Amino acid sequence: MERPSPKVVVETVGPLISGTWIQQLLLGFILAQMFDYYRDHYARDAVFNRYMVGLLLFFNLFIGGQDFHVLWRVTVQYYGDYSMFDLQEWTMWTEPLFTAVVGLLAQTFFVMRAWKIAHSIPVLILLSALTLFSFGSGITVSSFFIKYERFSSLSQFKTPITLWLVSTSVCDLAISAVLVYYLVKSKTTFKKTDRVINRIIQLAMETSSLTAFVAMMNLVLFLPLQTTAYHLLPQFSISRVYTLTVMATLLARGSLRSVLDSTGHASIPTNLRGGATTDVMPRMRVGLKTATSTFTDTIMEPPRDMPTVKSHDIELGVVEERSESTSMWDDRKDAAL
């Protein structure tokens, strides 16, 4: 093969090296986040969250090894043979597949949070369909890459690539929109409660916009620059950004809990969940499940000496608080933040 010009090398091998360096840097942040999670949250966290973190750790390490192998082939094993940059092996062919797997895990995590606060079957079906479509598109991209084998052939299956990246962005933004919509509806005049809700809204918008931005940057760099490899800069980072958003959400519970420590409880009248608090007037509530939570009710307060079961975290989910002295307060269920 004819020796490529320095410009061609800069536009192809350069982004490969830079993209690998960026994603390894992000892996360092992920490992630091996971250390904090295992130190502060793992022992008492939900089984779903613990498995999610473990799977994300495994796939991030695996993808890191894949990308390093791609870099090794081009810069060491076949140094000087530019044709081997174009002709790739399975580690590059399946990179979109495993990136889509990480995306599926992260989107499933956020879909579950949206379900816990919305409890709407149509919303769950819509978000699940978007998530599965995005995952399926990623599988399709890898299958075409396995078939054609070469970077120079990416233009022959740009439609699946476009569908994958667009559906990924749409899914992330849709999940965020659902969370923001229901959280905004739960806001009241309670200052500390609203501070927590505002922070969760901000976090939902930041995480979804970040993942959608990286996916769209991948598309923007790919479509008009198909003879280059600049799209590898965001491509190699997609799985890292998804993992960072999940870990940031899990770790944020500590700071949210500290907002409520001085009050011990907060109650938010809202229309998020069904269930009546009295026989006369149905109410729907969002409760804040904290390490110092006590019984709250939108209609009445229990006797001061009535003990309750205390919780240990802030998360989207169902909270049951049971009184030991009377069944009047049994089975109070809230959607916790």
Nearest to 238 by CA among 33, 97, 141: 97
The reported pLDDT for the residue numbered 118 is 85
| Interatomic CA distance for residues 103 and 99, integer angstroms | 6
Per-residue pLDDT at 227 exceeds 90: no
The answer to whether 231 and 155 have CB atoms below 8 angstroms apart is: no
Give the residue, 203 or 140, on which the prediction is more confident: 140
- Calculate the CA 129 to chain-centre distance: 16
The terminus-to-terminus CA distance of the chain in angstroms comes to 60
Exposure b/e, 159-169, CB count within 10 A at least 16 = b = ebbebbbbbbb
The answer to whether 238 and 103 have CB atoms below 8 angstroms apart is: yes
Interacting residues of 6 by C-beta distance below 8 A, sequence separation 6+: none
Question: Which residue's entry shows tokens 């989107």?
Answer: 107
Angle at 109 (CA atoms; ends 129, 232), nearest 5 degrees: 80
The reported pLDDT for the residue numbered 11 is 82
The answer to whether 336 and 117 have CB atoms below 8 angstroms apart is: no
Per-residue pLDDT at 262 exceeds 90: no
Question: Which residue's entry shows tokens 């006590």?
Answer: 294
Structure tokens at 120: 């709407």
Nearest to 130 by CA among 103, 154, 162: 103
Nearest to 119 by CA among 294, 302, 336: 336
State the chain's mean pLDDT as an integer: 77
The reported pLDDT for the residue numbered 36 is 93
Mean per-residue pLDDT, 306-332 = 39
The reported pLDDT for the residue numbered 280 is 40
The reported pLDDT for the residue numbered 261 is 64
Confidence of residue 239 (pLDDT cuts 50, 70, 90): very high
| pTM (two decimals) | 0.76
Give the residue, 335 or 88, on which the prediction is more confident: 88
Give the residue, 321 or 119, on which the prediction is more confident: 119
| Interatomic CA distance for residues 122 and 109, integer angstroms | 18
Query: Strand locations in the chain, DSSP E?
Result: 267-270, 284-287, 317-321, 332-336
DSSP secondary structure letters along 167-198: HHHHHHHHHHHHHHHHHHHT--S-HHHHHHHH
Per-residue pLDDT at 327 exceeds 90: no
Amino acid at 310: K
Mean per-residue pLDDT, 254-281 = 50
Give the residue, 162 or 315, on which the prediction is more confident: 162
Mean per-residue pLDDT, 123-149 = 93
The reported pLDDT for the residue numbered 2 is 63
Confidence of residue 296 (pLDDT cuts 50, 70, 90): very low
- CB atoms near residue 238 (< 10 Å): 26
Interacting residues of 118 by C-beta distance below 8 A, sequence separation 6+: 124, 178, 182, 272
Per-residue pLDDT at 264 exceeds 50: no
**Worst-scoring range by mean pLDDT, 134-143, 242-251, 299-308?**
299-308
The reported pLDDT for the residue numbered 1 is 52
Mean per-residue pLDDT, 165-185 = 90
Give the residue, 239 or 308, on which the prediction is more confident: 239
Beta bridge partners of 282: 276
**Worst-scoring range by mean pLDDT, 132-136, 287-291, 326-330?**
326-330
Interacting residues of 202 by C-beta distance below 8 A, sequence separation 6+: none
Amino acid at 112: M
The answer to whether 310 and 294 have CB atoms below 8 angstroms apart is: yes
Structure tokens at 134: 């995005």
pLDDT tens-digit map of 19-66 = 999 999 999 999 999 999 999 888 988 999 999 999 999 999 999 999
Mean per-residue pLDDT, 101-114 = 93
Per-residue pLDDT at 286 exceeds 70: no
Structure tokens at 10: 């800069």
Proportion of the chain above pLDDT 90, given as a percent: 40
The reported pLDDT for the residue numbered 34 is 94
